[in-house]
Amino acid sequence: MTSRAEYCVLACADAWRDVGEVLASPMGTVPALGARLAKRTFSPDLLLTDGEALLVGLDGRTEGWLPYRRHLAMVTGGRRHVMMGASQLDRFGNQNISCIGDWERPARQLLGVRGAPVNTLNNPTSYWVPRHSRRVFVERVDMVCGVGYDRAAAAGPSATRYHRIPRVVSNLGVFDFATPDHTMRLVSLHPGVTAEEVQDATGFPLARADEVPCTREPTAEELRLIREVIDPQGLRDREVPS
């Protein structure tokens, strides 16, 4: 039986389908496994990093050099699709990883904005949320780090020109912003999850069709790759328990 974590790996991998010869920048365990699954199967041209300053093939061999300054050039050049984490995410895809509460005197200081502002204006940015809850999916984020559709539109053509949030993957389902007003839409449910359950765990109303399909099933080969080649130690289950 396919585990919840395996559906999540699959849904993340599909974010890098048909993206061409770009850098897959996964943040978090499940997105990292997804990027490697995508490269091993349907997106062999993807570029992957060793997590430091090297571009590496699936066999671990170095094929390029990507220190931070060149990584930033890859962002602004647009040849990258990043999947970031989110401490908070709202219905328009505004993301926060900086702090919780009032910025002037935060209740909880987190990482800081990092590269979220430059990422979201320059290359496709997807999000991964391992624990879907009302604490993460909020009515309004406390600090806009990653720019959502409404804020990009308000900021004008320079902000919208390359702005795109292809998808959000959580432990409950897959989401996009393909609605007339670019609000978040439930695209698929991981098997065993109901639409009501997702809505209950979300702090704003989600757009959805009357019948929401299930996240696709892995092929036998994809399952074998996840279990035997990409993640034999089962790191995926630590991030997403079944």
By the criterion CB under 8 A, which residues form the site for other proteins?
52-54, 65, 67-69, 72, 75-76, 98-99, 103-118, 120-122, 143-147, 151-152, 154-159, 161-163
Euclidean distance between CA atoms 179 and 41, whole angstroms: 30
CB 17 → other proteins: shortest distance, Å?
26
* Residue with smaller CB distance to other proteins, 142 or 222: 142
CB 103 → other proteins: shortest distance, Å?
5
- How far is CA 125 from each of CA 102, 148, 161, rounded to the nearest angstrom? 25, 10, 14
CB 233 → other proteins: shortest distance, Å?
18
* Residue with smaller CB distance to other proteins, 63 or 200: 63
Euclidean distance between CA atoms 173 and 35, whole angstroms: 18
Question: Which sign, positive or negative, has the C-alpha torsion 135, 140, 144, 148?
Answer: positive
CB 174 → other proteins: shortest distance, Å?
25
* Residue with smaller CB distance to other proteins, 110 or 195: 110
Residue 137, phi then psi, degrees to nearest 5? -85, 95
CB 37 → other proteins: shortest distance, Å?
25
Residue 132, phi then psi, degrees to nearest 5? -70, 120
* Residue with smaller CB distance to other proteins, 118 or 214: 118
Place of tokens 């409404």: 150
* Residue with smaller CB distance to other proteins, 61 or 105: 105
Hey, what are 177's tokens? Answer: 């912003």
